[in-house]
Amino acid sequence: MRLLGDSSLRMLAIGSEQRDFNSGDVLFKAGDDADAGYVVQRGSFRVEEGGAEIVAGPGALIGELALIVAMKRPSTATALERASVIRVARSLFQRVLESDPAAAGRLRDEMAMRTSQLASDILMAGAKLST
């Protein structure tokens, strides 16, 4: 099930911008003000936070919390090769959700489920560490 309907996706596509990067270019740095999320369109990015890192490839959403809340970036994202992203501004994303209450509800439910799963995973890891 998609969180956003076709009309919402169209609004995001029309209002978003594409950005291109060369290998080694920084998409964002830890501590930067975060006002957008990014969908990797082509290539890949290394996302590093506190010693941990992931590689985000085509279709991945990077910095998604910035779509919901004003914050500082907790991580740094660096292009591993020639890459492009679609930048989705928080203001645009919020307008889309305001125009599509059903999508906003699905997004809220998805985030609640992920948060609950994360809390459960943390509790299980803590239990394993204490034995």
CATH number at residue 32: 2.60.120.10
Between CA 86 and CA 39 the distance in angstroms is 5
Q: Please tell me the predicted confidence (pLDDT) of residue 1.
A: 44
Tell me, yes or no, if the pTM score tops 0.85.
no
Q: Which tens digit of pLDDT belongs to each residue from 4-14? A: 667 777 777 77
Please count the structural domains in the chain: 1
For the four alpha carbons of 70, 20, 59 and 89, in that order, the dihedral sign comes to positive
Strands 45-49 and 26-28: unpaired
Please state, rounded to an integer, the average pLDDT across all residues of the chain. 84
Q: Please tell me the predicted confidence (pLDDT) of residue 30.
A: 95
Domain, as residue range, for 12: 6-100
Q: Which tens digit of pLDDT belongs to each residue from 40-82? A: 999 999 999 888 899 999 988 888 888 888 899 999 999 999 9
